[in-house]
């Protein structure tokens, strides 16, 4: 076989059986990059909002690891969308710069004419010639940077997406397996920790065994058993991680760039992508992440009025604030509707501890008995007062609010005998709880104004 048909190292000739020549593809790479970046860059910025709404709507219905699975899926999806969008926008900027340089090169073939640059002496000219170079080298650097960034973006997208899918599947499988054991939540955690440790050991073992094999071979001792073990572990990792999809991009970049710098950037970008989703959650729960409210602080507002307590004032920004609610800040009717939300991730642990009528916190009754048991259990978590007087929840009933996407208790508090003006509802969940932790005491203050005469048009 001649040298013309055998691919040589570093040669761009296509291997035997290749469907298309590399150079023919390379001529269109910049066009394909621009098309993909242009289609995805700004479209991806709209995706996290939809993912957030879907997660916030569904997360309230679950608890434990299933809640973690939804949250982790949101964090991965939102982080991936933002990371790709920003990377593609930067890629478009570099490609735009590259196109501009090519336009300059075609307009001025001589490139930079250093002797004609005004206000530049010999020292400055030499310095800029050394740093900038000619126009052709700048075009090459821009083209190289754009191609590397595009490939790096695809690699990070594949990695984050696969990590997210793998983690969510593992959490759900752990949840299904753990539910078959007594003390399901603890069993689920044990299963997940065991699976994670097994994966880490399988990932580190080949590196350790390779060094052991190298030492034995240097001493003239064959290690066929260890080699088979390494191949078996690599085959297992190839099933868990799509190496044929990720490895070509990763190994090419890692071997042609500074290996340590590449891995550092690779890990940092993935970590930041995961952090972006967390920032979005925090920003959605807070009024403003960046503020200078030195006087009207959050503590002051907590003892004043929050829009999340009033159905007429709530907006999409209050989606994560699942607070007790009344219809509005001004009430004219003789009865005040009070909705107390039920959140499985908070109420279920308390139900397992305190609701003796519900075995392991599960309501298996049917008919009116199911409603009575649910009411008695959830109502026992709350202490409610109106203008400092205890408000019993005996007449409250379970309700499903499709408009709010929540279930809870609802009752109609008689207020017709109250004088017009301001009145204050006070609610405490788990009033005897600790000051910190997921089951900590939570307090809600809802001021409202009883205005029967004004609302009815009476003067």
In angstroms, what CA-CA distances link 211 with 219, 290, 430?
Answer: 13, 51, 57
Name the residue with tokens 């204050």: 424
Number of Cβ within 10 Å of residue 136's Cβ equals 11
Q: What is the mean pLDDT of residues 327-347?
A: 95
Q: What are phi and psi of 449, to 5 degrees?
A: -115, 125
Q: Residue 173: helix, strand or coil by DSSP?
A: helix
Tokens of 144: 């190289």
Q: What is the mean pLDDT of residues 19-42?
A: 70
Buried-state track 70-90, b at ≥16 Cβ within 10 A, e below 16: bbbbbbbbbbbbbbbbbbbbb
**Dihedral (Cα; 37, 42, 48, 54), 10-degree rounding:** -110
Q: What is the pLDDT, as a whole number, of residue 3?
A: 44
Q: What is the pLDDT, as a whole number, of residue 456?
A: 47
Residue 7 DSSP symbol: P
Q: What is the mean pLDDT of residues 385-409?
A: 95
Contact 418, 451 (CB under 8 A): no
Contact 147, 153 (CB under 8 A): no
Contact 325, 399 (CB under 8 A): no
Residue 12 has pLDDT above 60, yes or no: no
**pLDDT bucket at 254, cuts 50 / 70 / 90:** confident
Q: What are phi and psi of 211, to 5 degrees?
A: -65, -40
The residues, any chain, with a CB within 8 Å of residue 13's CB and separated by 6 or more, are 7, 22
* Dist CA 35 CA 37 (whole Å): 6
List pLDDT tens digits, range 261-302.
Answer: 887 887 888 788 778 878 877 877 778 878 888 898 888 988
Number of Cβ within 10 Å of residue 55's Cβ equals 20
* Dist CA 53 CA 320 (whole Å): 10
Q: What is the pLDDT, as a whole number, of residue 260?
A: 77
* Dist CA 212 CA 38 (whole Å): 49
* Dist CA 227 CA 210 (whole Å): 8
List pLDDT tens digits, range 362-381.
Answer: 999 999 999 999 999 999 99
Rg of the chain, C-alpha, whole Å: 32
* Dist CA 415 CA 334 (whole Å): 5
* Dist CA 378 CA 393 (whole Å): 10
Residue 47, classified by CB atoms within 10 Å of its CB into exposed (0-12), middle (13-18) or buried (19+), is middle
* Dist CA 277 CA 216 (whole Å): 48
List pLDDT tens digits, range 218-246.
Answer: 888 888 888 888 888 888 887 777 777 88
Instruction: Please list the residues that pair with 445 across neighbouring strands.
Output: 426
* Dist CA 214 CA 222 (whole Å): 10
Q: What is the pLDDT, as a whole number, of residue 13?
A: 53
Q: What is the pTM of this model?
A: 0.73
* Dist CA 337 CA 359 (whole Å): 31
Tokens of 92: 């478009």
**What is the overall mean pLDDT for the chain?**
84
Contact 331, 448 (CB under 8 A): yes
Better-predicted residue by pLDDT, 196 or 47 = 47
């Amino acid at each position: 076989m001649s040298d013309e048909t055998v691919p040589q190292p570093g040669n761009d000739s296509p291997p035997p059986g290749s469907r298309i020549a590399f150079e023919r593809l390379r001529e269109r790479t910049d066009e394909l990059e621009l098309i993909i970046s242009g289609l995805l860059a700004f479209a991806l910025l709209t995706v996290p909002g939809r993912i957030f709404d879907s997660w916030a709507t569904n997360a309230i219905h679950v608890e434990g690891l299933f809640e973690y699975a939804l949250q982790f899926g949101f964090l991965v999806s939102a982080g991936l969308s933002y990371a790709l969008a920003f990377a593609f926008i930067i890629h478009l900027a570099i490609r735009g710069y590259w196109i501009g340089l090519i336009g300059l090169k075609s307009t001025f073939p001589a490139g930079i004419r250093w002797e004609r640059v005004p206000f530049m002496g010999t020292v400055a000219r030499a310095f800029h010639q050394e740093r900038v170079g000619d126009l052709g080298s700048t075009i090459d650097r821009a083209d190289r940077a754009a191609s590397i960034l595009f490939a790096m973006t695809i690699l990070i997208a594949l990695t984050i997406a696969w990590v997210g899918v793998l983690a969510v599947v593992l959490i759900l499988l752990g949840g299904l397996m753990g539910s078959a054991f007594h003390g399901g939540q603890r069993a689920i955690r044990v299963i997940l920790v065991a699976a994670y440790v097994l994966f880490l050991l399988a990932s580190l073992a080949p590196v350790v065994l390779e060094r052991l094999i190298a030492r034995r071979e240097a001493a003239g001792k064959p290690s066929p058993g260890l080699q088979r073990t390494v191949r078996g572990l690599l085959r297992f990792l190839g099933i868990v991680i799509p190496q044929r999809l990720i490895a070509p991009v990763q190994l090419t970049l890692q071997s042609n760039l500074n290996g340590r710098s590449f891995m550092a950037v690779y890990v940092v970008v993935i970590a930041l992508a995961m952090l972006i989703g967390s920032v979005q959650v925090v920003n959605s729960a807070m009024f403003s992440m960046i503020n200078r409210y030195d006087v009207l602080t959050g503590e002051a507002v907590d003892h004043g009025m929050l829009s999340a307590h009033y159905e007429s004032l709530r907006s999409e920004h209050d989606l994560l604030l699942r607070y007790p609610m009344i219809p509005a800040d001004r009430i004219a009717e003789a009865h005040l509707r009070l909705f107390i939300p039920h959140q499985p991730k908070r109420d279920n642990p308390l139900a397992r501890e305190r609701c003796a009528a519900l075995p392991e916190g599960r309501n298996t009754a049917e008919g009116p008995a199911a409603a009575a048991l649910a009411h008695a259990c959830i109502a026992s978590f709350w202490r409610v007062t109106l203008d400092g007087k205890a408000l019993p929840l005996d007449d409250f009933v379970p309700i499903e609010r499709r408009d709010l996407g929540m279930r809870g208790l609802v009752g109609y508090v008689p207020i017709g005998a109250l004088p017009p003006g301001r009145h204050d509802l006070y609610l405490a969940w788990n009033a005897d709880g600790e000051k910190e932790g997921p089951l900590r005491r939570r307090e809600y203050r809802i001021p409202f104004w009883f205005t029967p005469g004004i609302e009815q048009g009476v003067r």
